[in-house]
């Protein structure tokens, strides 16, 4: 059984995988104008997708309708802030500081790596 940090790192990586495949956006959780089934997501939207209990990539968009999650979102966000404290707010960083999808992905991958590394 995975410990909480391993679960959080997996959730972050799953969210980054979603953004890498479907695109990144700013100003909203998802850009519904771009796609109806798998819309581009901001970092928080990606984390919501990554946090769904259902990990089947085809059914991941069910996060928008399903309440069951692996962990409380506050736990995930607090852990990201603990390893990248200069973010202050993921939403503000995504919308006001981050300049590209690659920059968002790099931050997410770094956070997951640091969380995993804290147990090595």
Residue 58 is predicted with a pLDDT of 44
Region of 23 please: left (phi>0), alpha (psi -120 to 50) or beta. left
pLDDT digits (tens, 9 = 90+) for 1-53: 789 999 999 999 999 999 999 999 999 998 989 987 889 999 999 998 888 75
Q: Are 94 and 15 in contact (CB under 8 A)?
A: no
pLDDT digits (tens, 9 = 90+) for 88-108: 899 999 999 999 999 999 999
- pTM across the whole model: 0.85
Name the residue ranges covered by the structural domains of the chain. 4-117
């Amino acid at each position: 059984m995975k410990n909480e940090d391993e679960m959080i790192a997996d959730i972050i990586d799953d969210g980054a995988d979603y953004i890498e495949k479907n695109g990144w956006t700013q100003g909203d959780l998802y850009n519904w104008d771009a796609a109806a089934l798998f819309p581009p997501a901001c970092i928080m939207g990606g984390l919501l997708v990554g946090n769904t209990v259902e990990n089947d990539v085809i059914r991941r968009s069910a996060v928008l309708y399903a309440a069951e999650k692996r962990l409380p979102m506050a736990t995930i966000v607090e852990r990201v802030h603990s390893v990248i404290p200069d973010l202050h707010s993921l939403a503000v960083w995504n919308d006001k500081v981050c300049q590209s999808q690659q920059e968002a992905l790099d931050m997410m991958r770094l956070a997951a790596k640091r969380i995993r590394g804290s147990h090595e």
